[in-house]
């Protein structure tokens, strides 16, 4: 089976990707197996730039087909924040450049900061968009990008303990539940990542 290195250290993402690609004839690895890959500084202003960077580094170091996932939550009322800085939104150092490197903030801290920023904002202005960009990079230099989104509303308080990251405060009006209150299978059916992975599944046979 062809090895595919997922250029992530995020366990939640990896679990969703593994599940979605379970029927593909590939053997999935992740960066936790390749300690020689140091921190990949996400210094692009775009999800596309960061996803490509992660996948290119993973492909270069391992010599295998690699998949990068750069994702985040875009809240139009907050001018698009947290956006590409979603993982580090609550980090204390204020300059956005400093926040691109180093460890992510905890999900709890990120959620608290976002709920605080959205305090007293009425429901019609609480819309939010999850964005996922997948970058597939081959050792031959071939590259493919896939972008998918999922729309929801920022809840007033966290609910549920499934998923990861902002899921407890990402409310899906169509289900009347947060993303943390649904199963992994359901999340993969309708989430930004699940939708991007559906597209990936269609094209991956051409890259094996």
Q: What gap in Å lies between CA 104 and CA 20, rounded to an integer?
A: 25
**Cβ 175 to ligand ITT, closest distance in Å?**
15
CA 84 to CA 65: how far, in whole Å? 24
d(CA 187, CA 192): 9
Q: Which is nearer to ligand ITT, 26 or 88 (CB)?
A: 88
- Residue 165 CB, shortest distance to ligand ITT, in Å, is 2
Q: How far is CA 92 from CA 10, 96, 99, 104, 128, in A?
A: 21, 10, 8, 11, 23
Interface with ligand ITT in residues 50-89 (CB under 6 A): 69-73, 86-87
Q: Are 101 and 40 in contact (CB under 8 A)?
A: no
Residues 90-149 that bind ligand ITT (CB under 6 A): 104, 110, 130
Q: Is 181 in the site for ligand ITT (CB under 6 A)?
A: no
Q: How far apart are the first and last CA of the chain?
A: 9
Q: DSSP code of 103?
A: P
Binding of ligand ITT by 9 (CB under 6 A): yes
- Marked catalytic residue, from 43, 69, 70, 93: 70
Binding flag, residue 165, ligand ITT (CB under 6 A) = yes
70 annotated active-site: yes
Catalytic residue positions?
70
Residues forming contacts to ligand ITT in the complex (CB under 6 A) are 8-10, 13, 42, 69-73, 86-87, 104, 110, 130, 163-167, 191, 193
């Amino acid at each position: 089976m062809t090895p595919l290195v997922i250029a992530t250290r995020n366990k939640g993402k990896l679990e969703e990707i593994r599940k979605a690609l379970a029927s593909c004839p590939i053997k999935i690895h992740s960066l936790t197996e390749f300690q020689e890959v140091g921190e990949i500084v996400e210094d692009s202003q775009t999800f596309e730039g960061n996803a490509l960077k992660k996948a290119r580094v993973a492909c270069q170091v391992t010599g295998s087909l690699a998949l990068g996932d750069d994702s985040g939550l875009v809240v139009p009322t907050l001018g698009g924040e947290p956006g590409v800085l979603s993982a580090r939104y609550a980090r204390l150092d204020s300059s956005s450049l400093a926040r691109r490197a180093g460890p992510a903030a905890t999900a709890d801290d990120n959620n608290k900061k976002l709920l605080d920023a959205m305090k007293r904002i009425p429901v019609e202005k609480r819309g939010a968009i999850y964005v996922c960009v997948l970058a597939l990079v081959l050792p031959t230099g071939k590259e493919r990008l896939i972008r998918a989104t999922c729309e929801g509303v920022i809840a007033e308080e966290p609910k549920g303990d499934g998923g990861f990251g902002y899921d407890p405060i990402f409310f899906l009006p169509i289900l009347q539940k947060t993303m943390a209150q649904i199963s992994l299978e359901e999340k993969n059916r309708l989430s930004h990542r699940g939708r991007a992975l559906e597209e990936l599944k269609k094209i991956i046979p051409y890259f094996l």
